[in-house]
A and B are shown apart, each in its own frame.
Chain A
């Protein structure tokens, strides 16, 4: 049996506010990773819908748990990162999930690729009932594209502490594009890599912040980021970003149609994410701690 000390510590921060329907899946998808050196930081913003009851049984598995009123999602993540000690860092929103074996993969990848600072993967999207609905199949990482659009699937992104310390913590001012702002800073400092697989799943549902905020504050904030870091200089940029975005979607559709499977996902659309987990997401037990 492999020794736990072989694996670097991975810190995962989950900011949460009133997501009782999905929080169990999110938490279980992290804790069922069986990763031996996991630091799971749970930042609850004082949920009032029973979220705390839903995760009560997992409370002792969190390395750090706090439930108090915060100044929003990015503030919670910011404070969560301040608590973290892991060599590898990530945050997972309270409606997203990790794929089985994702943490092992990330640890192994960073071990074998010492030059890479940030790792992300394609995006697999599920709906409120955990059924897969669409994919982004992204090309090889390109800073050129990243400067022009918020294309990094945040739920699949892991990074080393060294880039975090260089580029700084997440900016609590942002409500929507805090990940993009953070990743742009990472991009300016370090090296990205896109894994040809799925590391997690993004949930699209009616109350999802992404769909609500993109049109309102989202675009403004992305524009702010561009302005702040002097990106997006060409007039063709909107065209490029839109074409890229369409291509990612189209490739996702092609991938779904091909009937092939990438690691971390099943073939096609409409499959249950819980099935990928062998039905374990809907159960209540957790692996025993050695």
Chain B
């Protein structure tokens, strides 16, 4: 509790804005002392009885009466009692023994304080006056130097001019009984200074006073520094802030007003140095003194008014006078105020109306602005549109039209959009797996055949079971060449394990596997890819394959329609021609890795339950048979097949079993019919007459043979054959393109090669028929492809024997046939036609025509010797091939009739040749050609031993369909088409049929009489049944230019 002399009481002195709030807050954290925020109590008590002159109770009376009532000492006692009561009641509330009263402007009443509480502690917090002035300016926005210079009556003026001086004076009078602490020191080292301070006051030393929070009374107090709110600890940031606040002139005023001696005495000599550095120097003390004097004067003036008001009047009359005058003055004031109020109100009214008007204008402007914005957007759109239009018009209209027409044409040309889309769709990715183990001899051929496919979306995976014979070297070579995508090389549990591993890493859409022994036929994969692309709902397709034995190649037997029933009956699909989708493979759970021999059978069986199998009539793959290969594993295969079948059967549901049982018989009958059905251009493999090994290596698949008319690869193999005319042993394959109806020989022979062969053999009159050696096998020997009707006819049906040898000539029928073809159009006995025989050889035909007609004859023959012979006979012959005809035949020479007798089948580019020959036609002219007829009925009978095959000299053989195609491609129109047969060729076919393909029959020889008799018979049949149906042995076609000439 505070004692009557001020024990337990401390006063914190200082100027406003000098950090007293900070000190009080920190000090207030001590648990023994209570520091209320600025009570201002002592100032109020000091002015006890001094009231405003405007006090309604008459301030003079109050002051005088109080003075009279209490007296000087009494006043002091009353004030002390009041202060003690106030302080102690507060302390009782907070429960602390000490109280520190911090009120900055106590400097005005320092003697009063000392008189009131002589035992109280005085703490003076000093601060650099310049910093205080700066704080006034920054915190309260006061222009302190301006106020000082103006010398106005203002508390800030007193604060700065009088405050430091009075406090200094007080310190001197107290002889050091004032605890003097510098703000700058406090904020830089608060803990230490607070400890010293508390120690000086006599409080218990406590740590952590500098950590304060200001959310208490200080924040809500009327007075005090609010800047402190929100800070947690003292900081030294504001010490030197004053330097940037004031200009030099302001600093000079400040220095003058405060006084240099005050700076020095209050410990801020260094600040004066800073002043000097900025060119601000202390002036004479008189100037400072003038400020102090003025402040003193002003302060006393202030108190003068109050003192006068508080001083009792000398007389009652004066008092009444004064009292009477006041209302009069008030009236004036009221009137004045009222007038002012009226003026203000009118001004307000005006301002209001102004505001309303302005608001209206603002709204209008806003509307206009919005409208402009909208307009701007519209115009921007317009500008964009116009720019586009301008850009569009930059391109010439004509060109645009052309471009449009081109696009239209492009859409139309390729015709139907569906077809376009089909052709443009990408081919599906095929994943091909080849399992191999020690297959160094065969794997090369297999990989080469895959490479020759040139299928762009192929993933070739080879799974090697750890070969030791150099297979791996071959594989790595091909992998480096980019043919094989992946090679898996590790020991495996048999072939089907390898396949399973291969498919496990495959990424393609279509799956198939190719054994290392087998190979693909040219263009096979493309056909498969296109089929799957065009038939998205087909999951599995299977093909027939070709069989390669000793270098010969045969078409394998026809496949039946395959399904679960057929498989259960033990039917074996040709594995190398089966292709299926990844989805199907995944549905059935993949190949079984445990089977050794019949893994494929297991696969088909399970797949047949999940998908429908589709048979494709094309050759895609080639199966190679080696001696011993077939029989050795077959028994094991069958045994394993039995196991698989039994297991599969037990797993079938009842319904499926019942269905299979029921349909079994139907399937058998159906398949017998299928096998018995005859087909054109299918020559079944002659297993009884397997061929001898060929001495020359079989042709390797380099590139697909191409149809000479359309450039498409063939889709079927017909047969393979050596040269059966002069006995050359090299094997040729004969392929067939079913789209264009052309059979073609493979490999293609170069022009020079064939010319050399011709030169060697054609004029060789000593060529003898070559019979196959006794006891050896000869493929297709006595092969007969006819049906039961043909067989009957061939058994010399009695009727026929009556009719033979009638009206048949063994002579060369060419002239008659040619004239019969051309007769209706060219009355040959009426007009002198110009005639060109392309490939006239020695001019045999020209000889005959010379006698038969009066035509203007000419010939074309590349064989120099033949040309010489023909010229000797007096014919006009140009030594050139058909392709060179437009060059070697002089300009202006044109022909009414151009004849290609059995030559078109020798050309590599028949279309180009026809186009060139067409240029030689005179207006109204025609081209006639003759060539073997691929539709011939005798092909069905004799098969590969048909005499007209004549491979490899015939590069291609044409049917009626392909001849029509040739005509349309050469800008010609087919006017006439007839077929003929001649017993000579039938005899040749019979003769070769007797030998088989291992023999040879040269042309120009007289066939044995036994063949002649039957040949005449055949020709009779041909005349009756075949020729008029377009199935004679060779065909004649007449073309004329389309649209005339």
Question: Do residues A288 and B919 form an inter-chain contact, with CB atoms below 8 A?
Answer: no
Given contacts A108-B1045, A257-B415, contact A1 B405 (CB under 8 A): no
B824 interface residue per 8 A CB criterion: no
Residues of A within 8 A of B411 (CB): 253, 257
Q: Which of B375-429 contact A (CB under 8 A)?
A: 396-399, 401-402, 404-406, 408-415
Residues of A within 8 A of B1044 (CB): 105, 108, 263
Interface size class of A (residues with CB under 8 A): 35 or more
Taking CB as reference atom, which chain B residue is nearest A249? B405
Expressed in whole angstroms, the Cα–Cα distance for A53 and B913 within the complex equals: 30
Given contacts A249-B405, A257-B409, contact A289 B1041 (CB under 8 A): no
A223 interface residue per 8 A CB criterion: no
B538 interface residue per 8 A CB criterion: no
Residues of B within 8 A of A32 (CB): 886, 919
Expressed in whole angstroms, the Cα–Cα distance for A101 and B891 within the complex equals: 13
Q: Mark A206-222, 1 if CB is under 8 A from B, else 0.
A: 00000100110000000
Quote the shortest CB–CB distance from B920 to chain A (angstroms): 7
A287 interface residue per 8 A CB criterion: yes
Binding stretch for chain B, among A8-16, A66-74, A273-281? A273-281
Given contacts A101-B919, A278-B913, contact A4 B892 (CB under 8 A): yes
Residues of A within 8 A of B654 (CB): none
Residues of B within 8 A of A252 (CB): 405, 409
Question: Do residues B409 and A256 form an inter-chain contact, with CB atoms below 8 A?
Answer: yes
A259 interface residue per 8 A CB criterion: yes
Question: Do residues B971 and A1 form an inter-chain contact, with CB atoms below 8 A?
Answer: no
Quote the shortest CB–CB distance from B893 to chain A (angstroms): 5
Quote the shortest CB–CB distance from B693 to chain A (angstroms): 43
Question: Do residues A263 and B1041 form an inter-chain contact, with CB atoms below 8 A?
Answer: yes
Question: Do residues A211 and B891 form an inter-chain contact, with CB atoms below 8 A?
Answer: no
A34 interface residue per 8 A CB criterion: yes
Expressed in whole angstroms, the Cα–Cα distance for A214 and B404 within the complex equals: 17
Expressed in whole angstroms, the Cα–Cα distance for A285 and B895 within the complex equals: 21
Expressed in whole angstroms, the Cα–Cα distance for A258 and B579 within the complex equals: 36
Question: Do residues A36 and B891 form an inter-chain contact, with CB atoms below 8 A?
Answer: yes
Question: Do residues B890 and A253 form an inter-chain contact, with CB atoms below 8 A?
Answer: no
Expressed in whole angstroms, the Cα–Cα distance for A12 and B887 within the complex equals: 21
B916 interface residue per 8 A CB criterion: yes
B61 interface residue per 8 A CB criterion: no
Given contacts A1-B834, A34-B886, A104-B923, contact A134 B402 (CB under 8 A): yes
Quote the shortest CB–CB distance from B486 to chain A (angstroms): 39
Quote the shortest CB–CB distance from A233 to chain B (angstroms): 23
Quote the shortest CB–CB distance from A241 to chain B (angstroms): 12
Expressed in whole angstroms, the Cα–Cα distance for A134 and B408 within the complex equals: 9
Question: Do residues B968 and A261 form an inter-chain contact, with CB atoms below 8 A?
Answer: yes
B856 interface residue per 8 A CB criterion: yes
Residues of B within 8 A of A263 (CB): 971, 1041-1044
Expressed in whole angstroms, the Cα–Cα distance for A240 and B896 within the complex equals: 46
A262 interface residue per 8 A CB criterion: yes
Residues of B within 8 A of A34 (CB): 886, 891-894, 919-920
A187 interface residue per 8 A CB criterion: no
A269 interface residue per 8 A CB criterion: yes
Expressed in whole angstroms, the Cα–Cα distance for A263 and B1042 within the complex equals: 6
Question: Do residues B915 and A288 form an inter-chain contact, with CB atoms below 8 A?
Answer: no
Quote the shortest CB–CB distance from B835 to chain A (angstroms): 9
B549 interface residue per 8 A CB criterion: no
A200 interface residue per 8 A CB criterion: no
Taking CB as reference atom, which chain B residue is nearest A99? B971
B922 interface residue per 8 A CB criterion: yes
Residues of B within 8 A of A1 (CB): 834, 856, 858, 893-895
Q: Mark B892-909, 1 if CB is under 8 A from A, else 0.
A: 111110000000000000
B912 interface residue per 8 A CB criterion: yes
Partner of A257 from B413, B890, B891 at Cβ < 8 Å: B413
Expressed in whole angstroms, the Cα–Cα distance for A183 and B39 within the complex equals: 120
Question: Do residues A2 and B916 form an inter-chain contact, with CB atoms below 8 A?
Answer: no
B147 interface residue per 8 A CB criterion: no
Expressed in whole angstroms, the Cα–Cα distance for A279 and B887 within the complex equals: 13
A266 interface residue per 8 A CB criterion: yes
Residues of A within 8 A of B1043 (CB): 196-197, 262-264
Expressed in whole angstroms, the Cα–Cα distance for A288 and B885 within the complex equals: 10
Given contacts A34-B894, A270-B413, contact A261 B971 (CB under 8 A): yes
Partner of A101 from B405, B409, B892, B1045 at Cβ < 8 Å: B1045
Question: Do residues B406 and A133 form an inter-chain contact, with CB atoms below 8 A?
Answer: yes
Taking CB as reference atom, which chain B residue is nearest A277? B915
A135 interface residue per 8 A CB criterion: yes
B297 interface residue per 8 A CB criterion: no
Taking CB as reference atom, which chain B residue is nearest A250? B408
Question: Do residues A253 and B834 form an inter-chain contact, with CB atoms below 8 A?
Answer: no
Taking CB as reference atom, which chain B residue is nearest A36? B892
Expressed in whole angstroms, the Cα–Cα distance for A104 and B413 within the complex equals: 30
Taking CB as reference atom, which chain B residue is nearest A245? B401
Residues of A within 8 A of B960 (CB): none
Expressed in whole angstroms, the Cα–Cα distance for A269 and B414 within the complex equals: 8
Residues of B within 8 A of A134 (CB): 402, 405-406, 409
A204 interface residue per 8 A CB criterion: yes
A59 interface residue per 8 A CB criterion: no
A100 interface residue per 8 A CB criterion: yes
Residues of A within 8 A of B412 (CB): 253-254, 256-257
Expressed in whole angstroms, the Cα–Cα distance for A243 and B58 within the complex equals: 115
Question: Do residues A290 and B401 form an inter-chain contact, with CB atoms below 8 A?
Answer: no
Quote the shortest CB–CB distance from B264 to chain A (angstroms): 98
A80 interface residue per 8 A CB criterion: no
Taking CB as reference atom, which chain B residue is nearest A287? B891
Expressed in whole angstroms, the Cα–Cα distance for A237 and B126 within the complex equals: 107
Quote the shortest CB–CB distance from A138 to chain B (angstroms): 14
Expressed in whole angstroms, the Cα–Cα distance for A273 and B320 within the complex equals: 137
Q: Which of A2-48 contact B (CB under 8 A)?
A: 2, 4, 32-37
Residues of B within 8 A of A135 (CB): 409
A55 interface residue per 8 A CB criterion: no
Expressed in whole angstroms, the Cα–Cα distance for A70 and B889 within the complex equals: 38
Question: Do residues B922 and A2 form an inter-chain contact, with CB atoms below 8 A?
Answer: yes
B918 interface residue per 8 A CB criterion: yes
B888 interface residue per 8 A CB criterion: yes
Residues of B within 8 A of A33 (CB): 919
Residues of B within 8 A of A2 (CB): 834, 892-894, 896, 922
Expressed in whole angstroms, the Cα–Cα distance for A101 and B924 within the complex equals: 12
Quote the shortest CB–CB distance from B1043 to chain A (angstroms): 3
Expressed in whole angstroms, the Cα–Cα distance for A51 and B402 within the complex equals: 29
Expressed in whole angstroms, the Cα–Cα distance for A252 and B407 within the complex equals: 12
Q: Which of A4, A134, A252 has the most CB of B within 10 A?
A: A134
Partner of B890 from A246, A275, A288 at Cβ < 8 Å: A288
Expressed in whole angstroms, the Cα–Cα distance for A215 and B395 within the complex equals: 10
Quote the shortest CB–CB distance from A52 to chain B (angstroms): 23
Question: Do residues B408 and A253 form an inter-chain contact, with CB atoms below 8 A?
Answer: yes
Partner of A214 from B398, B893, B912, B915 at Cβ < 8 Å: B398
Given contacts A34-B920, A268-B414, A278-B916, contact A287 B409 (CB under 8 A): no
Residues of B within 8 A of A129 (CB): none
Q: Mark B868-900, 1 if CB is under 8 A from A, else 0.
A: 000000000000000100111111111110000
Q: Which of A2, A135, A204, A270 has the most CB of B within 10 A?
A: A2
A286 interface residue per 8 A CB criterion: yes
Residues of B within 8 A of A246 (CB): 401
Taking CB as reference atom, which chain B residue is nearest A268? B413
Taking CB as reference atom, which chain B residue is nearest A133? B406
A-B pairs with beta carbons under 8 Å apart, 18 shown: A1-B856, A2-B894, A2-B896, A2-B922, A35-B891, A108-B923, A133-B406, A197-B1043, A211-B396, A252-B409, A262-B1043, A263-B971, A268-B414, A269-B410, A275-B915, A278-B886, A288-B888, A290-B893
Interface of A with B (CB < 8 Å)? 1-2, 4, 32-37, 100-101, 104-105, 107-108, 133-135, 196-197, 204, 211, 214-215, 245-246, 249-250, 252-254, 256-257, 259, 261-264, 266, 268-270, 275-280, 285-290
Query: Can you add 10 more A-B contacts, CB < 8 Å, to A196-B1043, A286-B887, A289-B891?
Result: A1-B856, A34-B893, A101-B1041, A108-B1045, A214-B398, A245-B401, A256-B412, A262-B1042, A262-B1043, A278-B919
